[in-house]
Amino acid sequence: MIGAPLTRVDGVAKVTGAARYSYEEPVANTAYGVIVTSTIAAGRIASIDAKEAQSLAGVLLVLSHENAPRVKADAGDRKLQVLQDDAVFYDRQPVALIVADTFERATDAASRVRVTYDRKAPATTMSSPGAQTYTPSQANNNPPDTTRGDFDAAFASAPVKLDNSYVTPTEFHNPMEPHATLAMWSGDELTIYDTSQGVFPRRASVAKIFGIPDTSVRVVSKFIGGGFGSKGGTNPYCVLAAMAAKVIGRPVKVVLTRPQMFGGFGNRPRTEQRVRLGADRSGKLTAMAHDVRSQGSRYDDFIENAAVISRMLYAVPNQITTHRGVRYDVVTPTYMRAPGESSGSFALESAMDELAYATGTDPLELRLINYAETDLSEQKPFSSKSLRQCYAQAAQRFGWASRKAAPRSMRTPDGLLAGYGMASSTYPSNRSSASAAATMHADGTVLATSGGCDIGTGAYTAFTQVAAEAIGLPVARVRFDLGDTTMPPAPEAGGSQLTASVANAVHAAGVALREKLAGLATANRNSPLHGRQLADLAFGDGRVFVRAQPVTGERYADIVRHSGAPSVMARADVQHDRRAKGPYSSHAFGAHFAEVHVDPDLGTVRLARMVSAFAAGTIVNAKTARSQFLGGTVWGVSMALHEEGRIDERTGRYMNASLENYLVPVNADIPSIEIILVDEQDEFVNPLGIKGIGEIGNVGSAAAVANAVYHATGKRVRELPISPEKLLT
């Protein structure tokens, strides 16, 4: 069952509206909170006049820095602006929360709060006079700077040298479900229904903020309409909901408006990346420097670890990588799908494409010339690596061999410029400790649980399959539940780690359950299995049986019934330190091939087709996995051609704060993307051989499109998105 293309077990609930999202949880007496956000990007609140708002019918509370309860504004992984003082650090920072008996009344009252400011002229770009560069202590848990060999000497003596800078803009996540929390207190016990990528990490940070034990907080997150990193860390709306619920002694729910999702609550930071490549005339790399500058806030550190991918993707002996943050008057950025690798791969894989043209080498051949047989950054072998197979299978399917080498040398039948481009992809295989439980009921059905979250990836489905396989039951007899801190702990659905972490725990719990059931049978003198050894038994189709004599066996349901207990439960705790360094380096790999058509007169770029191949160890569900690769790949197309958060340099406010003006691709922008799943077994990465697939589709995809645009037009655009005016000027 592991690997089968099982249709989503929660699909019907989602399309019929039965799936309940956090904001929809029906709780009696719930009040509605609406956040008032700042209209300046830097300065102080001079006054808050809420008299009119407060006088309106149904208004229960106006919370501001003047009366908000004092909390610890450090959420563990980030510092939050939660009405603790009058400082304003970014546009759309929360400055008040209005709570009323209906959402409409709260919205109306919020519009009548008058805030005046002592405004400072904000620094609104990375090159503004007031922007400050800093050296971070880490870059998304990686060392910010690395060196190997002697870059300066190797670069100085390289026969071929390239030195170019690449820019990726600020981008927003745009999950369909906006951020939302329903919070309620019972004495000092807090329950929150929160749209969250990880209920356990959320519980830990909320407990820390309110200064209460973890065990006093319950977090529930059953269905999530997309996260992409934006629902990883704790955000102010969640804390404000809990604060208000405490003050008024009623459940309070808070949802962000769509415009508030742009600029006030985290984004992929803008990066400016300088890449220097030194190579011999055949294209073999001798030197590489990748220097990253990452958009940052005034009050907290977050670095887009864009150069990390350059440390291991190619066999380059002499290298420098650096990350610097640039502080200006914006919100602290956050993780967005494949944080680091996504923006870093645009720079690295564009630079590699430039090197291919500079040396007259085919871009795919250039990757093979520089293929890394080991991970030079960790000086370790890969636990498995099938990048060659990804290149070969995708290139074959795409028809890469028919590409004409020269830029601007291919045309479509109707006269458009045609271009082929490719890029490599990789993402580290992460894993954290996870626990799971499995309970066999007397009717022969199983409930398996682990407190992970399904952010839309298909976790419910994948873990149902793993449990069914481990226990030896058809999937129809297994129900998997998740998203609640009352369940065994699981890590955040982030860093592409959830499946690798939780599946191994679910599998172990399933095996423990079947062995417990076998033990009950062999100990029961009325069982046909009485006295048998576990080693002689096999499991399948809802029963335990003698391997050499399958007719001799007992059904799970009967074993439970004979046990005298209503059910039989087993639990597994699989420990894994995510930072622990084993003997191998583990990464998933992939390759993207793209064809674009460009109108030479208008500069409009259309994706014609893409073929992308990935090798990521064990694929738990071929159908949901394909969707993950596809979604990630589409996002790369979007990054290449569409997305850009545009800031008004006078005010520090994002100007295109809506799904009308912030461009994302629609179906007509994505004609055909073919995904190839390359077979790969990895016996070292973890017991089930799962590498993780949530983010890798997004890595390299933008570069493949950008490289195709260069091939079509002969014009290299190094600042995303590739909009028509950049091709025409």
Which active-site residues does the annotation give?
A: 695
Residue 171 · residue 229 · CB < 8 Å: no
Q: Does 495 bind ligand MOS (CB under 6 A)?
A: yes
Q: From the list 122, 175, 178, 229, which residue makes contact with ligand MOS (rule: CB under 6 A)?
A: 229
Beta strands 31-37 and 252-255 are parallel
Please report how close the Cβ of residue 35 comes to ligand MOS at its closest, in angstroms.
23
Tell me if 337 contacts ligand MOS by CB under 6 A: yes
Which residue number, 22 or 286, has a Cβ lying nearer to ligand MOS? Answer: 22
Residue closest to 590 by CA, chosen among 345, 426, 384, 385: 426
Question: Does 339 engage in binding with ligand MOS (CB under 6 A)?
Answer: yes
Q: How far is CA 224 from the centre of its chain?
A: 13
Task: Provide, rounded to whole angstroms, the least separation between the CB of residue 670 and ligand MOS.
Answer: 21
Alpha-helical (H) ranges within 146-229 are: 151-156, 199-210
Report the distance separating Cα 371 and Cα 252, nearest Å: 55
For the CB of residue 266, give the shortest distance to ligand MOS in the complex, in Å. Answer: 10
Backbone angles phi, psi at 252, to 5 degrees: -130, 135
Q: How far is the CB of 468 from ligand MOS (least distance, A)?
A: 27
Tokens standing for 346?
């645009």
Rounded to whole angstroms, the Cα distance separating 106 from 549 reads 69
In the complex with ligand MOS, which residue's Cβ is closer, 201 or 363? 201
Nearest approach, Cβ of residue 616 and ligand MOS (Å)? 15
Nearest 10 degrees: Cα torsion 493, 272, 235, 432? 30
Number of neighbouring beta carbons within 10 Å of residue 246: 18
DSSP calls for 463-499: HHHHHHHHHT--GGGEEEE-SBTTSSB---S-TT-HH
Q: Which is nearer to ligand MOS, 122 or 494 (CB)?
A: 494
Residue 245: both structure tokens together: 């619920």
Residues 297-336 that bind ligand MOS (CB under 6 A): 335-336
> Using the 8-state DSSP alphabet, how is residue 262 labeled?
T
Q: How far is the CB of 93 from ligand MOS (least distance, A)?
A: 23
Indicate the SS3 state at residue 256.
coil
The residue with its CB nearest to ligand MOS is 229
Q: Which is nearer to ligand MOS, 32 or 335 (CB)?
A: 335
Nearer to ligand MOS, 33 or 233 (CB): 233
* Nearest CB to ligand MOS, comparing residues 178 and 339: 339
Using CA atoms, how far apart are residues 151 and 372, in angstroms rounded to an integer?
18
Residue placing its CB nearer to ligand MOS in the complex, 92 or 231: 231
Binding residues for ligand MOS, how many (CB under 6 A)? 11
* Span of 99-107, 184-192, 228-236, 390-398 interacting with ligand MOS by CB under 6 A: 228-236
Quote the CA–CA distance of 584 and 384 in Å, as a whole number: 9
Pairing of β 146-148 and β 380-381: unpaired
Minimum gap (Å) between residue 96 Cβ and ligand MOS: 30
Spatial contact of 218 and 41, defined as CB atoms under 8 Å apart: no
Q: Which stretch binds ligand MOS (CB under 6 A): 66-74, 76-84, 226-234, 651-659?
A: 226-234
> x-or-dash pattern for ligand MOS, window 176-215, by CB under 6 A?
---------------------x------------------
Q: Examine residue 175 and tell whether it contacts ligand MOS (CB under 6 A).
A: no
Should residue 632 be labelled a site residue for ligand MOS when binding is judged by CB under 6 A?
Answer: no
Per CB under 6 A, the list member of 263, 344, 458, 494 interacting with ligand MOS is 494
Q: CA 644, CA 271: separation in Å to the nearest integer?
A: 12
Q: Which residues bind ligand MOS (CB under 6 A)?
A: 197, 227-229, 232, 335-337, 339, 494-495
